[in-house]
A and B are shown apart, each in its own frame.
Chain A
Amino acid sequence: MRIPWRPAAYLLSGGLTGAAAFTVMLLLAASGTALAPVLVGLPLLAALALSGVPYAAVERRRLRLLDPEPVADPHRDPDRTGITAWARTRFAERATWQELGYAVLAATVLWPLELLAVGGAFAVPADLLATPLLLAADGEQANPLKLHAVTGYPAALACAVAGLLLLPALLYALGPVAGARAALARWLLTAGGTAELAARVTELTTSRARLAAAFDAERRRIERDLHDGAQQRLVALSLTLGLARLDAPDGSPIADRLAKAQAEAGQVLESLRELINGIHPQVLTDRGLPDALADAADRSPIPVRTRLDLPGRLPESAESAAYFVVCEALANAAKHSGASGVTVTGGHDGSRLTVEIRDDGRGGADAARGTGLTGLADRVAVVDGTLTLASPAGGPTLLRVEIPCTLRSLPLRSE
């Protein structure tokens, strides 16, 4: 016969921790109230208010005795280190007060019941079993369970047999009792948690979108600054050098130097152009995705065919996510796939943008290897999109991006 240790352990530990919680909370309440006038009491009362937090943490751990399904910690990480930041965060959380309520209930009502259940399950059969021994020790009578006097050995043996039969029955009865107690704990500790969780997910999602938008805006600002500043100055420099070359006699050392300087300025301009284009391509802002992708295709070392059929302009975040994914995919195809050609197709069905990048290379692209694809997936995830990759060994490789978005009310300027 297997003894149901876990329910017994659960109820016993529950009784003990409940008793401990009762003691601690009583001490905090008493000393805090007494010392409140001299201010020392205030932190004690604050600690009392927060006492549900550690208690609930222990409770969540204890639940694992019966059920391996973990209960999520409902608390947020404080945004700053230090005890005051922690306390401030905890005070602002609904879960803290919920846990305090649960702790008060456990420390006042539940723990005596738990100890009673465990104690009863062991003590009652033990008392009955001991009846013959007690009778022998006493010689006169024994009082099993203090209910009535037993004076004869047949009756005492009957009691012992009853005890023997009752022991497993009561022990197994602990199972449902413990189960009910655990269900109560789980319910009280997680009630309303899903709503809070949903709210936090929403909050996180919007803050992530805000970050991404801020990041895009920052890229555009940098692009603008470089364009209006460095780029124009370099063109002006090149122009000045060009004029100076007109004044230098042909074939003179100075003419050669000026020519060199101008070539150098031209190189810098070219690098700067590529840099700026990598930060934020102007064509994407001006003309939208199809033109920007055609432009990216132009710059690719392997032949790229693009065919995008979009009814209008999309939100900037969707456009730039799709654009950078295609650019990265084209770079990957050129570097690793050995493909002889890439096809980029795409469209919008009214609620989502879909872009597919297909190459006829050797395949075997793996999202787990290299950070490129992970970076792409992150970029797409920020705009709530998905990225799927099919790349069997031997090819072809197909990368598919889907981004939910509605049209901006801007017509596409077609060529």
Chain B
Amino acid sequence: MHPPLPPPPLRIVLAEDSVLLREGLVGLLARFGHETVAAVGDADALEAAVAEHGPDIVVTDVRMPPGHSDEGLRAALRMRENRPGLPVLVLSQYVQRSYAAELLDSGDGTAVGYLLKDRVGHVEDFLDAVIRVAAGGTVIDPEVVRHLLARRRDPLQRLTAREREVLALMAEGHSNAELSRRLSVTDAAVGKHIGNILMKLDLPPAQETHRRVLAVLTYLRR
């Protein structure tokens, strides 16, 4: 195993209405070599900036002026409709299942992320999420996954404790390599767990990470 290459720098459009946080995020991204090509404070400016710059990824807050409701999310969904595959990472102050669901339903559920805003403090996790979404992955906040798991009690009961752990990480959108690193088990063991989980939950086997993530999330949302 040789250490992974540093990811190529990304061109980012950032939308966040709090100036303090906007500056903080720009600084954080810059520190890791990513370029924030536009940092804006409302949904209209966000759409204009994306049209102008064609960024690698959009990072946006849900709640923005003028209405302070869910303009950021609406703008993100509209843009994904007009530019299929545009990577979008949405930051939300609250765990909102329906927000996550709408994002996953936009396009084919790839290249989207839904994170609790607090995660930006966990700098490495946050950056990792940005990079994974930009690369076409699906990232869902562990808090949302915990909610989803707590809601369904039926067939999940058949899973072992270890399998539930694997399922939670899988639903957050992690790859097999990441799972084996976090759980300190071999790749082969992870593969076996995943196979068992998919079988027990009656889900189609899938090799591709994002297909698998979507299958799991769809199951959990039912």
What B residues does A238 contact at CB under 8 A?
A: 118, 120-121
Contacting pair B69 A286 (CB below 8 A): yes
Number of interface residues of A (CB under 8 A): 36
Question: B17, B21, B118 — which one has the most chain A CB atoms within 10 A of its CB?
Answer: B118
* Known contacts A242-B123, A243-B28, A273-B93, A283 near B98 by CB under 8 Å: yes
**B83 at the A interface (CB under 8 A):** no
**B182 at the A interface (CB under 8 A):** no
**Interface readout for A261-284 with B: 1 if CB under 8 Å, 0 if not?**
010011001100100010000110
The listed residue (A227, A236, A270) touching B63 by CB distance below 8 A is A227
**A198 at the B interface (CB under 8 A):** no
Chain B residue with Cβ nearest A281: B94
Complex interface residues of chain A between 292 and 345 (CB less than 8 A to chain B): 294-295, 297-298, 303
The CA of A266 and the CA of B120, in the complex, are separated in Å by: 11
**B192 at the A interface (CB under 8 A):** no
What B residues does A239 contact at CB under 8 A?
A: 21, 24-25, 28, 120-121, 123
Complex interface residues of chain A between 177 and 236 (CB less than 8 A to chain B): 224, 227-228, 231-233, 235-236
The listed residue (A246, A262, A282, A297) touching B94 by CB distance below 8 A is A282
Contacting pair B20 A233 (CB below 8 A): yes
What A residues does B150 contact at CB under 8 A?
A: 298
The listed residue (B68, B69, B94, B98) touching A415 by CB distance below 8 A is B98
What B residues does A265 contact at CB under 8 A?
A: 121
* Known contacts A235-B21, A236-B20, A286-B69, A266 near B97 by CB under 8 Å: no
The CA of A83 and the CA of B28, in the complex, are separated in Å by: 69
**A388 at the B interface (CB under 8 A):** no
The listed residue (B25, B31, B98, B121) touching A287 by CB distance below 8 A is B98
The CA of A269 and the CA of B95, in the complex, are separated in Å by: 13
Contacting pair B18 A266 (CB below 8 A): no
Contacting pair B97 A298 (CB below 8 A): yes
The listed residue (A240, A273, A277) touching B24 by CB distance below 8 A is A240
Shortest distance in angstroms between A413's beta carbon and chain B's nearest beta carbon? 8
The CA of A245 and the CA of B98, in the complex, are separated in Å by: 34
Contacting pair B118 A266 (CB below 8 A): yes
Contacting pair A262 B151 (CB below 8 A): no
Shortest distance in angstroms between A168's beta carbon and chain B's nearest beta carbon? 83
Number of interface residues of B (CB under 8 A): 31
The CA of A372 and the CA of B207, in the complex, are separated in Å by: 52
What B residues does A360 contact at CB under 8 A?
A: none
The CA of A240 and the CA of B23, in the complex, are separated in Å by: 11
**A285 at the B interface (CB under 8 A):** yes
**A378 at the B interface (CB under 8 A):** no
Contacting pair A235 B94 (CB below 8 A): no
What A residues does B105 contact at CB under 8 A?
A: 415
**B162 at the A interface (CB under 8 A):** no
Majority-rule SS of B interface residues: helix
Contacting pair B28 A231 (CB below 8 A): no
The CA of A303 and the CA of B120, in the complex, are separated in Å by: 31
**B101 at the A interface (CB under 8 A):** yes
Complex interface residues of chain B between 103 and 139 (CB less than 8 A to chain A): 105, 117-118, 120-123
What A residues does B25 contact at CB under 8 A?
A: 239
The CA of A256 and the CA of B22, in the complex, are separated in Å by: 27
**B204 at the A interface (CB under 8 A):** no
What A residues does B35 contact at CB under 8 A?
A: none
**Interface readout for A76-90 with B: 1 if CB under 8 Å, 0 if not?**
000000000000000
Contacting pair B68 A224 (CB below 8 A): yes
The CA of A144 and the CA of B122, in the complex, are separated in Å by: 115
The CA of A277 and the CA of B92, in the complex, are separated in Å by: 14
Contacting pair B98 A291 (CB below 8 A): yes
Contacting pair B94 A273 (CB below 8 A): yes
Contacting pair A242 B153 (CB below 8 A): no
**A100 at the B interface (CB under 8 A):** no
**Interface readout for B1-45 with A: 1 if CB under 8 Å, 0 if not?**
000000000000000011011001101100100000000000000
What B residues does A231 contact at CB under 8 A?
A: 93
**B163 at the A interface (CB under 8 A):** no
What A residues does B187 contact at CB under 8 A?
A: none
**A241 at the B interface (CB under 8 A):** yes
Complex interface residues of chain A between 352 and 369 (CB less than 8 A to chain B): none
What B residues does A240 contact at CB under 8 A?
A: 24
Q: A224-B68, A242-B120, A295-B98 are in contact. List 19 more A-B contacts (CB 8 A).
A: A227-B63, A228-B18, A235-B121, A238-B120, A238-B121, A239-B28, A239-B120, A239-B121, A239-B123, A242-B28, A243-B27, A266-B118, A270-B118, A277-B94, A282-B93, A297-B151, A298-B147, A415-B98, A415-B101
A contacts, CB < 8 Å to B: 224, 227-228, 231-233, 235-236, 238-243, 245-246, 262, 265-266, 269-270, 273, 277, 282-283, 285-287, 291, 294-295, 297-298, 303, 413, 415
12 contacts between A and B (CB under 8 A): A224-B68, A227-B63, A227-B93, A228-B17, A228-B18, A238-B118, A239-B121, A242-B28, A266-B121, A277-B94, A283-B98, A298-B151
